[in-house]
């Protein structure tokens, strides 16, 4: 019976419009992925001097080591250390952020360092999102082999896995608190006010409008105070959690160490934390004054200021998110703010909508048609706001995904991408329910509201049954939404996948030279010192070990700089690999490399390729 009634009044016009919107949005999303890719993630290793895996000439150990990261790092909570083959720390313990470049760190080495392999380990905390990262790389002075296992050195730095239950639940609490505060308030101001006016003007319900209004005010007030409580709890936990992240080691030991004080006073995280604390206190003050001056929330200037404070809290969340560490923060930051703002309006609004119906159902008795006419005015108004939020979420979400994933493959080939895909699946589930409310229930209620027919009118049994189904599926929608925020807590605890392209990585070329097939890797492929690794195989697939002389000859194509030869030396532990570190790449632009391979008793072979240095 319900199904039949619903099918009968199916609104195909709105559905058609929704489909068009869907295709336009999908196309827009698709197009963004054809744009060039950019690097991002936590503060990752980008390049260094000496470069990773460099082989330096005997007796030419560097006087210092410099490392560049993909994001700015917290000076007080980031460090480098350098170890020799015996795992003794040999640096001068003066590790510091490079003056004028927050993305780079330096450390000095003692003079007359003996030949041998050295390993640099780093532990940093990103200034952008507060995540910590540890890693290592090695270089070789003179002959020898590069260390292959540096895990013992890394574990000395007490790495913190950013992905853990604390991080996820703190973020979840924060999302719930902001959504409750901002969304319920926005509902009262933007949905309930006009709806109440319309109910009154059209005399849609026989009596009880004031009772409903008072009931909603009471509930929303409780939601606001409850949300503020959740926010305070979440924000205190965040401070303790971040203390643990920057210090590493044992959670409770860090709590009692008092290092949270220096974190508060000398890190970007600390400034944002204090700013947000101020906003929460302001919101609490405004909320309490609303109460004690006896004002109606829906009818007071204070409420608008409270809403602004809530949006301020939204902004502090974005400032501390991955979107503040992208290559274009001026675009991704506002986009993230809109994303989280729309989330809050929508999900907090859903909660307030459910509470409103709960209150109204107590006041409005069944059988009079009041409930039908009430919903016929309430649902469309809420749908306008929810529809705008969904559109904003899809557009800004796509912008975020473009910056943080960079390719379609990244939706599936790493934990971050898979989590985002799961989030989208939950989102689609919510959308199905929302579309059901917007396209089926809402038109039906409007239709029923216009008639007093016993079978198909405002007070009919069918109307009552559809309303019960509606309340159930609305509760389902809210549950899904709360779960979705949990998935987002997981998402923002994970590291977005590292991306290739400019800023990190290396230049790779493969090809053939006579009977030899080669693979050349230039790391980091930027102006300055580079490591050239050339791997050679003969026609039968065996590594070429007996080359007398392997030369990489470089010419700058944009400007005459002459011919620059680099002699590549065989690497003992890897047959077929020839390597050298050199700073021939002295300017950006188009370069050509010619590989010349000389073997005894065979003609020399050559191959050339071009590459671009940014
Ligand atoms: C097409 C749909 C969507 C896409 C592509 C998308 C994508 C993203 C991405 C890439 C992030 C960045 C996460 C990070 O900082 O590492 C994000 C954050 C977030 N998303 Fe979405 N999202 C979508 C829809 C939604 C929906 C429907 C909701 C909630 C109802 C939502 C809530 C959030 C929240 C709360 C954040 C965290 C913001 C922050 O920490 O600053 N998203 N989203
Ligand atoms: Cu991160």
CATH of the domain at 86: 2.60.40.1220
Q: What is the pLDDT of residue 8?
A: 36
Mean pLDDT of the chain, nearest integer: 85
d(Cα 161, Cα 15) in Å, to the nearest integer? 46
Same domain for 362 and 241, yes or no, is yes
Residue 501 lies inside a defined structural domain of this protein: no
Residues 409-461: tens digit of each pLDDT: 888 888 889 999 999 999 999 999 999 988 989 898 888 888 888 888 888 88
Same domain for 169 and 309, yes or no, is yes
Geometric angle at alpha carbon 345, from 340 and 27, rounded to 5°:
60
Measured in Å, residue 525 CA sits from the centre of ligand 2 at 25
Same domain for 389 and 325, yes or no, is yes
Q: What is the pLDDT of residue 570?
A: 86
Domain count of the fold of the chain: 3
Phi first, then psi: what are they for 106, rounded to 5°? -135, 155
Q: Given ligand 1 and candidates 71, 393, 418, which is best to mutate, with the most ligand atoms within 8 Å of its CB? A: 393
For residue 404 and ligand 1, the question of a CB distance below 6 A is answered with: yes
Q: How confident is the model at residue 71 (pLDDT cuts 50, 70, 90)?
A: confident
Q: Would the pLDDT of 33 be above 60?
A: no
For residue 321 and ligand 1, the question of a CB distance below 6 A is answered with: yes
Same domain for 229 and 318, yes or no, is yes
Cis amide prior to 524 (ω within 30 degrees): yes
Q: Would the pLDDT of 72 be above 80?
A: yes
Residues 292-321: tens digit of each pLDDT: 887 888 888 899 999 999 999 999 999 988
Residue 15 lies inside a defined structural domain of this protein: yes
For residue 488 and ligand 1, the question of a CB distance below 6 A is answered with: yes
Residue 336 lies inside a defined structural domain of this protein: yes
CB-based contact 396:345 (threshold 8 Å) = no
Same domain for 137 and 220, yes or no, is no
Percent of the chain exceeding pLDDT 70 equals 91
The last residue of a domain, from among 448, 471, 493: 493
For residue 397 and ligand 1, the question of a CB distance below 6 A is answered with: yes
d(Cα 422, Cα 414) in Å, to the nearest integer? 12
Residue 370 lies inside a defined structural domain of this protein: yes
Residue with tokens 């992905």: 163
Lowest mean pLDDT among 266-270, 378-382, 423-427: 266-270
At 125, list the tokens: 């905390």
CATH, residue 574: 2.60.40.3340
CB-based contact 174:317 (threshold 8 Å) = yes
The last residue of a domain, from among 106, 138, 155: 155
Higher pLDDT, 252 or 467: 467
- Establish how many alpha carbons lie within 13 A of residue 39's alpha carbon, considering only the half-sphere containing its beta carbon: 16
Strand partners, 106: 66, 96
CB-based contact 50:65 (threshold 8 Å) = yes
Please name which ligand lies nearest the alpha carbon of 400. 1
For residue 339 and ligand 1, the question of a CB distance below 6 A is answered with: yes
Same domain for 267 and 338, yes or no, is yes
Residue 526 lies inside a defined structural domain of this protein: yes
Same domain for 301 and 354, yes or no, is yes
Q: What is the pLDDT of residue 10?
A: 36
At 49, list the tokens: 């001097």
Cis amide prior to 50 (ω within 30 degrees): yes
Residue 38 lies inside a defined structural domain of this protein: no
Cα–Cα distances in Å, from 551 out to 321, 463, 533, 536, 585?
Answer: 47, 84, 11, 13, 15
Q: What is the mean pLDDT of residues 491-517?
A: 77
Higher pLDDT, 25 or 348: 348
Q: Would the pLDDT of 462 be above 50?
A: yes
Measured in Å, residue 98 CA sits from the centre of ligand 1 at 34
Same domain for 455 and 511, yes or no, is no
Measured in Å, residue 493 CA sits from the centre of ligand 2 at 7
Residue 499 lies inside a defined structural domain of this protein: no
Strand partners, 564: 554
Residues 479-490: tens digit of each pLDDT: 999 999 999 999
Residue 498 lies inside a defined structural domain of this protein: no
Q: What is the mean pLDDT of residues 133-138?
A: 89
CB under 5 Å of ion ligand 2: residues: 42, 129, 131
Geometric angle at alpha carbon 234, from 229 and 235, rounded to 5°:
100
Residue with the nearest Cα to atom 6 of ligand 1?
397
Identify the three-state secondary structure at position 327.
Answer: coil
Task: Give the position, in ligand 1's atom list, of the atom nearest the Cα of 171.
Answer: 40
Q: What is the pLDDT of residue 15?
A: 42
Same domain for 136 and 281, yes or no, is no
Please name which ligand lies nearest the alpha carbon of 171. 1
d(Cα 80, Cα 73) in Å, to the nearest integer? 12
Q: How confident is the model at residue 250 (pLDDT cuts 50, 70, 90)?
A: low
Higher pLDDT, 413 or 213: 213
Cα–Cα distances in Å, from 125 out to 103, 120, 398?
Answer: 11, 17, 27
For residue 160 and ligand 1, the question of a CB distance below 6 A is answered with: no
Structural domain harbouring 75: 45-155
Measured in Å, residue 226 CA sits from the centre of ligand 1 at 24
Measured in Å, residue 326 CA sits from the centre of ligand 2 at 11
Same domain for 151 and 167, yes or no, is no
- Establish how many alpha carbons lie within 13 A of residue 371's alpha carbon, considering only the half-sphere containing its beta carbon: 24
Write the ipTM: 0.93
Q: How confident is the model at residue 135 (pLDDT cuts 50, 70, 90)?
A: confident
Same domain for 511 and 605, yes or no, is yes
Q: What is the pLDDT of residue 16?
A: 47
Same domain for 91 and 144, yes or no, is yes
Q: How confident is the model at residue 558 (pLDDT cuts 50, 70, 90)?
A: confident
The last residue of a domain, from among 120, 155, 190: 155
């Amino acid at each position: 019976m319900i199904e039949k009634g619903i099918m009968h009044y199916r609104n195909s016009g709105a559905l058609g419009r929704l489909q068009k919107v869907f295709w336009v949005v999908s196309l827009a999303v698709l197009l963004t992925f054809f744009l060039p890719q950019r690097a991002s993630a936590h503060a990752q290793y980008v390049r260094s001097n000496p470069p990773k895996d460099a082989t330096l000439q005997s007796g030419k150990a560097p006087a210092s080591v410099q490392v560049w990261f993909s994001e700015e790092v917290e000076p007080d909570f980031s460090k480098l250390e350098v170890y020799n083959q015996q795992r003794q720390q040999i640096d001068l313990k003066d590790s510091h952020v490079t003056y004028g470049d927050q993305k780079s760190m330096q450390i000095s080495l003692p003079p007359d360092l003996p030949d041998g392999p050295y390993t640099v380990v780093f532990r940093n905390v990103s200034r952008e999102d507060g995540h910590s990262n540890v890693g290592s790389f090695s270089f070789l002075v003179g002959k020898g082999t590069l260390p292959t296992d540096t895990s013992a050195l890394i574990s000395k730095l007490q790495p913190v896995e950013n992905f853990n239950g604390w991080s996820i639940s703190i973020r979840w609490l924060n999302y719930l608190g902001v959504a409750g505060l901002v969304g319920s308030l926005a509902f009262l101001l933007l949905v309930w006010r006009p709806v109440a006016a319309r109910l009154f003007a059209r005399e849609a319900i026989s009596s009880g409008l004031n009772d409903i209004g008072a009931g909603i005010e009471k509930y929303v007030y409780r939601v606001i105070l409850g949300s503020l409580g959740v926010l305070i709890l979440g924000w205190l936990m965040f401070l303790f959690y971040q203390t643990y992240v920057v210090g590493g080691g044992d959670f409770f030991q860090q709590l009692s160490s008092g290092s949270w004080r220096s974190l508060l006073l000398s890190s970007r995280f600390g400034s944002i934390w204090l700013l947000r604390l101020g906003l929460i206190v302001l919101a609490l003050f405004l909320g309490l004054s609303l109460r004690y001056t006896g004002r109606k929330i829906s009818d007071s200037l204070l409420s608008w200021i409270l809403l602004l404070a809530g949006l301020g809290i939204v902004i502090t969340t974005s400032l501390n998110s991955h979107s503040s560490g992208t290559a274009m923060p001026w675009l991704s930051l506002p986009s993230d703010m809109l994303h989280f703002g729309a989330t809050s309006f929508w999900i907090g609004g859903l909660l307030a909508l459910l509470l409103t119906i709960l209150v109204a159902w107590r006041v409005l008795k069944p059988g009079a048609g009041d409930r039908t006419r009430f919903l016929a005015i309430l649902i469309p108004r809420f749908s306008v706001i929810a529809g705008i939020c969904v559109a904003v979420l899809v557009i800004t979400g796509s912008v975020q995904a473009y910056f943080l994933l960079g390719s379609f493959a990244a939706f599936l080939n790493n934990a971050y991408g898979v989590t985002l895909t799961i989030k989208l699946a939950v989102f689609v589930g919510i959308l199905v329910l929302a579309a059901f409310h917007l396209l089926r229930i809402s038109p039906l209620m409007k239709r029923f509201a216009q008639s007093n027919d016993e079978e198909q009118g405002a007070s009919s049994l069918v109307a009552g049954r559809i309303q019960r189904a509606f309340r159930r599926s609305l509760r389902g929608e809210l549950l899904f939404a709360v779960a979705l925020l949990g998935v987002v807590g997981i998402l923002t605890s994970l590291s977005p996948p590292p991306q290739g392209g400019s800023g990190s990585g290396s230049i790779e070329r493969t090809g053939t030279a006579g009977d030899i097939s080669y693979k050349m890797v230039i790391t980091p492929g930027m102006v300055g010192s580079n490591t050239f690794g050339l791997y050679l195989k003969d026609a039968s697939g065996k590594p070429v070990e007996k080359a007398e002389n392997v030369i990489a000859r470089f010419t700058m194509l944009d400007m005459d700089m002459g011919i620059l030869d680099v002699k590549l030396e065989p690497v003992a532990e890897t047959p077929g690999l020839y390597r050298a570190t050199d700073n021939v790449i002295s300017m950006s632009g188009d370069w050509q490399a010619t590989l010349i391979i000389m073997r005894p008793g065979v003609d020399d072979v050559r191959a050339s390729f071009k590459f671009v240095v940014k």
